[in-house]
Amino acid sequence: MRHTISALTWALAAGLAPAALAQAKPAEPRDYSAPAGAPYRAESVVVTTPMGHTLAGTLTIPNSASKDHPVAAIVTISGTGPQDRDESLGFGGYRPFRQFADSLGRRGIAVLRMDDRGVGASKGTFKGATPEDFVKDIRAGLAFLRTRPEIDPKRLGLLGHSEGAIDAPLVAVDEPDLKALVLLAGMAHSLRGALRFQLSNLIRHDTTLTPTKRDTALAHVEDKIDSLTAADPYMRFMANYDPSPTAQKVSKPAILILTGETDRQADPTQVNDWVAAFKAAGNHDVTGRVLPGLNHLFVPDPDGFPGGYAKLPPPLKVEASVVGIVVDWLSQRLK
């Protein structure tokens, strides 16, 4: 008898980002203001897209920025599922993009982070959109930054997490002037393989299954993926898209690839393959690292199973050393 997999299991197997697993819209109001005494300001902005909808966001700008002294800037790209501008988890206080924006702002780099289309104060429809659509939204964010006199249009970069790390190279293919890409917990190979990796991990962790039912479920992983992708345009795109050929077209921006050693959503063994794909494009500034003891959220976690995120001790934050690696690397590349 074929094992019936729960909706949560399928959400995890589909690679949904943490916020989608907890709650798409956090219950508590979000504060996007700058912390007291921060050397930067936080400005609420609205980005108009060529597709006819607007995206609400927060632009953090160092106090030193001006028309005469423009600064470098980063656009953040969230993972799978409807995400707010902070890529909030919905529990444990996890707001990674706020962390990065704060640290980068203190180092003189502006950050634009936006609610996904149809999320928070953003307009448009999320359901039915594919990464090809989200890439257009990110390009609109870059176009917005180029209109700001305090931002240096020649020093722009992207920081993507999970699916956002897959979307960033798609943006870069048609944005040759970008200076840097930070790819956190992304994937180098066919995303069908990622679905297989994730779903198999979920089945192996399911303590309610008998050994026989577990073997049966594992034997039908491909059938489940076929069923899922046939019914949903987004999943069909994800299952058929291979990030490596895109990487082989990205020759100019410097690239930093980081994945946690215990990541059970993005296979850490793919980091070297992704580095090789970017270098095949002639890119000479590509760094890839697997970071010990960290999960898909870049939070210390010896197991890394997504179903255990809610059990990790709060507050959940990106490990300080990871933020340091990213900020130091960007500070060098965006000079």
Q: What is the pLDDT of residues 245-268, one digit of tens each?
A: 999 999 999 999 999 999 988 899
Confidence of residue 29 (pLDDT cuts 50, 70, 90): low
Q: Does residue 11 or residue 59 have the better pLDDT?
A: 59
Q: Domain tally for the chain?
A: 1
Answer whether residue 17 shows pLDDT above 80.
no
Whether 236 maps to a domain, the answer reads: yes
Distance CA 112, CA 237 (A): 27
Whether 1 maps to a domain, the answer reads: no
pLDDT at site 143: 98
> In terms of residue numbers, what domain contains 272?
7-333
Answer whether residue 146 shows pLDDT above 50.
yes
Whether 2 maps to a domain, the answer reads: no
Confidence of residue 96 (pLDDT cuts 50, 70, 90): very high
**Torsion sign across C-alpha atoms 143, 146, 148, 150:** positive
Whether 28 maps to a domain, the answer reads: yes
Confidence of residue 28 (pLDDT cuts 50, 70, 90): low
CB 11 within 8 A of CB 232: no
CA angle 184, 45, 113 (to 5 degrees): 5
Confidence of residue 162 (pLDDT cuts 50, 70, 90): very high
What letters, b where the CB count within 10 A reaches 16 and e where it falls short, cover 60-95?
bbbeebeeeebbbbbbbbbbbbbbbbbbbbbbbebb
Query: 305-320, pLDDT tens digit by residue?
Result: 888 898 999 999 999 9
Whether 90 maps to a domain, the answer reads: yes
* Cα 140 to the center of its chain, rounded Å: 17
Query: 278-287, pLDDT tens digit by residue?
Result: 999 999 999 9
Distance CA 187, CA 166 (A): 7
Answer whether residue 269 shows pLDDT above 50.
yes
Nearest Cα to Cα of residue 238 among 196, 270, 278, 297:
196
Cα separations (Å) of 228 from 162, 206, 278, 296? 20, 20, 30, 23
CATH number for position 76? 3.40.50.1820
Whether 229 maps to a domain, the answer reads: yes
Answer whether residue 128 shows pLDDT above 80.
yes
Q: Does residue 274 or residue 127 have the better pLDDT?
A: 274
Whether 16 maps to a domain, the answer reads: yes
CB 106 within 8 A of CB 39: yes
Encoded tokens for 37: 């005494």
CB 326 within 8 A of CB 256: yes
pTM higher than the cut 0.85: yes
Encoded tokens for 146: 């180029």
Give the three-state DSSP class for 139: helix
